[in-house]
């Protein structure tokens, strides 16, 4: 297959400007759109099943609680696929890997649409989740490599806009499609969008040559770096707080706020709007420093979650807090993704993909902790309060990361925090 874009060595800047992107795209906005389109497809398929559990259960002859395992199968695929595929694809050019990942994603979603039995659907949903983390991880690296250093977080957030828009447009539309025509059709629609993404990536995303250092062993070396684990810990714990609240958002707004169940789709759309706005703001927040921004946003999340149980009793405040529940974490995701790219060095693909594994682990952790307090007899005000404690713990991990980085800088005075260092595929990286 002939590449339409110019082949550029991702480790070598094309100009003498140290802020120039190492792998420029002829049409960077179209390239980012292609990556965002893939994010839209992934976001739609990840969440649409939750709105169609009764239809899925009836379609394959299982109970609704059992149908919930279909959601878990997708999440399990994300957790497994992100590190495995990112490591195994270390020697594959990133554009080629993105094409294969999205082609596999399309095939798995079409297989989901054709499934007629519960085991077959479970297998297809697990397979659909496998490319999720690796696509976002590699996509973040490619997006960052196409822009100057100071715009990396903006580029990553633009790629992730597809995921947020999916919650505003894709999920409601495909849910309606599944209710009207059958639960299989949303998966078929996602499969078609994925095939469009393959075409868009091939046409607009620049080709990244594999560097001599790229290998599975080099990717795994990233796991020897404490800062990588600290960044992953921030995501696991910090986002666990958000998921502890979001997992129970429907009974919270009906039970505490007094809204009718018919209002739930609008509430979820408001959450999605918050996500989209947050992704758009992330680049601006990151300009003041990644770790500084991460700490400030996590602190804001802790305050928001601590007050959520009180705000939920007033309809106007409840809607504002749902918007903030989408907004603040979405500011954080691109900054964490960029932070991982900075600290992973030669293992960027694996570390960036692992970020999405940790988010799914955070999903499970938060939902479980929320269920614990509810099972103990506490009301729906309490999952968010547990979430606030998790966010505070995330702040603590971020502070430890910042202190460790300062200590390392003092031990190596010749390397300043502002000195740019060339990295493979993500642009010029520096300590923040």
Per-residue pLDDT of 383-425, as tens digits, reads: 899 999 999 999 999 999 999 988 888 887 654 444 443 333 3
The domain tally of the chain equals: 2
Residue 199 and residue 222 in one domain: no
- Residue 169, C-beta contacts closer than 8 angstroms, at least 6 positions apart: 272
- Residue 227, C-beta contacts closer than 8 angstroms, at least 6 positions apart: 343, 401, 404, 405
pLDDT higher than threshold 50 for residue 227:
yes
Average pLDDT over residues 53-64: 84
Structural domain contains residue 5: no
Structural domain contains residue 19: no
Average pLDDT over residues 59-87: 83
Average pLDDT, the chain: 81
The last residue of one of the domains, among 180, 210, 240, is 210
Cβ–Cβ < 8 Å for 179, 55 = yes
DSSP 27: S
Three-state DSSP state, 413: coil
CA angle 383, 386, 387 (to 5 degrees): 85
Category of 211 on φ-ψ map: left (φ > 0), alpha (ψ -120 to 50) or beta: beta
Q: How confident is the model at residue 148 (pLDDT cuts 50, 70, 90)?
A: confident
DSSP 381: T
Range of the domain at 176: 25-210
pLDDT higher than threshold 90 for residue 198:
yes
Residue 198 and residue 226 in one domain: no
Nearest Cα neighbor of 299 from 391, 400, 383 is 391
Average pLDDT over residues 120-125: 95
DSSP 48: H
Residue 225, Cβ density class (10 Å: 0-12 exposed, 13-18 middle, ≥19 buried): middle
The last residue of one of the domains, among 210, 244, 261, is 210
- Residue 263, C-beta contacts closer than 8 angstroms, at least 6 positions apart: 253
Q: For residue 84, give the CATH number of its domain.
A: 1.20.1250.20
What does each C-alpha distance from 186 to 51, 174, 199, 205, 428 come to in angstroms? 11, 5, 20, 27, 40
Residue 327 and residue 361 in one domain: yes
DSSP 166: I
Would you state the structure tokens that stand for residue 249, as one six-digit string? 């958002």
Beta bridge partners of 209: 9
Task: Using the Cα atoms of residue 227, residue 229, residue 231 and residue 237 in order, give the sign of their dihedral.
Answer: negative
DSSP 9: E
Structural domain contains residue 12: no
Beta bridge partners of 429: 421
Residue 269 and residue 416 in one domain: yes
The last residue of one of the domains, among 210, 235, 258, is 210
Q: What is the largest CA-CA distance in the chain?
A: 66
């Amino acid at each position: 297959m002939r590449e339409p874009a110019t082949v550029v060595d991702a480790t070598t800047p094309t100009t003498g400007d140290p802020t120039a992107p190492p792998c420029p795209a002829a049409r960077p906005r179209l390239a980012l759109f292609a990556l965002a389109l893939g994010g839209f497809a992934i976001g739609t398929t990840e969440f649409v099943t939750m709105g169609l559990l009764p239809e899925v259960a009836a379609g394959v002859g299982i109970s609704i609680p059992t149908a919930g395992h279909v959601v878990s199968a997708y999440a399990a695929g994300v957790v497994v696929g992100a590190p495995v595929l990112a490591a195994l694809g270390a020697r594959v050019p990133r554009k080629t890997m993105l094409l294969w990942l999205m082609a596999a994603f399309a095939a798995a979603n079409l297989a989901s649409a054709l499934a007629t039995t519960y085991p077959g659907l479970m297998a297809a949903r697990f397979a659909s989740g496998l490319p999720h983390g690796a696509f976002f991880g590699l996509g973040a690296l490619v997006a960052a490599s196409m822009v100057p250093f100071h715009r990396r977080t903006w580029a990553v957030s633009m790629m992730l806009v597809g995921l947020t828009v999916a919650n505003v447009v894709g999920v409601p539309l495909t849910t309606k499609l599944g209710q009207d025509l059958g639960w299989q059709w949303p998966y078929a629609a996602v499969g078609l969008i994925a095939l469009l993404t393959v075409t868009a990536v091939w046409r607009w995303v620049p080709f990244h040559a594999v560097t001599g250092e790229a290998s599975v062993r080099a990717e795994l070396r990233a796991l020897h770096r404490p800062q990588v684990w600290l960044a992953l810990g921030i995501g696991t714990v910090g986002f666990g707080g958000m998921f502890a609240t979001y997992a129970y958002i429907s009974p919270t707004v009906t039970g505490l706020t007094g809204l009718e169940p018919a209002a739930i789709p609008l509430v979820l759309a408001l959450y999605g709007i918050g996500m989209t706005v947050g992704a758009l703001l992330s680049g601006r927040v990151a300009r003041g420093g990644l770790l500084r921004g991460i700490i400030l946003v996590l602190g804001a999340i802790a305050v928001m979650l601590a007050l959520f149980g009180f705000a939920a009793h007033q309809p106007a405040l409840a809607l504002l807090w749902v918007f903030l529940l989408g907004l603040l974490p979405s500011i954080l995701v691109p900054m964490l993704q960029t932070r991982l790219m900075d600290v992973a060095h030669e293992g960027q693909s694996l570390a960036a993909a692992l970020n999405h594994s940790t988010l799914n682990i955070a999903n499970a952790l938060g939902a479980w902790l929320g269920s614990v307090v509810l099972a103990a007899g506490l009301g729906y005000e309490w999952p968010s309060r547990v979430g606030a404690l998790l966010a505070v713990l995330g702040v603590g991990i971020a502070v430890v990361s910042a202190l460790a980085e300062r200590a390392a800088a003092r031990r190596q005075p010749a390397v300043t925090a502002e000195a740019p260092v060339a990295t493979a595929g993500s642009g010029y990286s520096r300590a923040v």
